[in-house]
Structure 1
């Protein structure tokens, strides 16, 4: 599998802006600017896109693992918080809330940790990755 994105930047770093194109997504032609610029909702930034990629990848990976183990989630909700220090992403912290009938707390934690280890986006990050997982009973 290969995924290709093309990014184009115009102008200076502070006043310029960018746009990226995707091959298979409605995200194509989305605008991006640096994360420090006040966001009016018309653009995104690389950090936000990376967090979205990590959250969605982890959630899909967990859904796959649950299915392989005989479970189906009513809902998996994952948020990611990136920690950036001196222009380096040092942590990508996952927070998961899940509603899964018939699973024990121990099974849930083990499968969530397995998903964290198997997530391709999480694996490509050089940052530490943490997981906070909550099963809603």
Structure 2
């Protein structure tokens, strides 16, 4: 399986601008710039997209894990946060609020730990990964 995206940048790093387009078309000439990356401009940025990708990947892997263990989740709400310092991503934090009927805390945490280590985006990132989780049964 191959997934594709395209970035087109015009101009300098600070004054320039770019657009991102994904194979699926969900992003289609979506704006990004210095302002959207380092300030509060309108558009997206690479770190925001990594946060979304990590949150989505983790949620899906955890759902597979929990279902395989006999505890299909009702809701997995995952917020992704990318922390960047001096031009380097130093942490990806996932904040999980899960509703999983019938599961005990130890089984839940084991499945979370596996998803944290083994979702494809976690395996791609070479940074600290932290998962803060809250379980409702």
TM-score by length of 1: 0.92
Shift of 1:37: 3.2
Shift of 1:106: 0.8
Cross-structure match for 1:26: 26
Secondary structure of the 1:95 match is strand
- In the alignment of these two chains, the number of paired residues is 135
Aligned equivalents of 2:121, 2:130: Cα separation in 1: 13
Flag structure 2 segments of 5+ consecutive residues without an equivalent.
Answer: none
Cross-structure match for 2:40: 38
Aligned equivalents of 2:75, 2:40: Cα separation in 1: 32
Cross-structure match for 2:48: 48
Flag structure 1 segments of 5+ consecutive residues without an equivalent.
Answer: none
Over aligned residues, Cα RMSD in angstroms? Answer: 1.2
TM-score by length of 2: 0.92
Q: List 4+ stretches of structure 1 deviating above 4 A.
A: none
Aligned equivalents of 2:70, 2:25: Cα separation in 1: 31
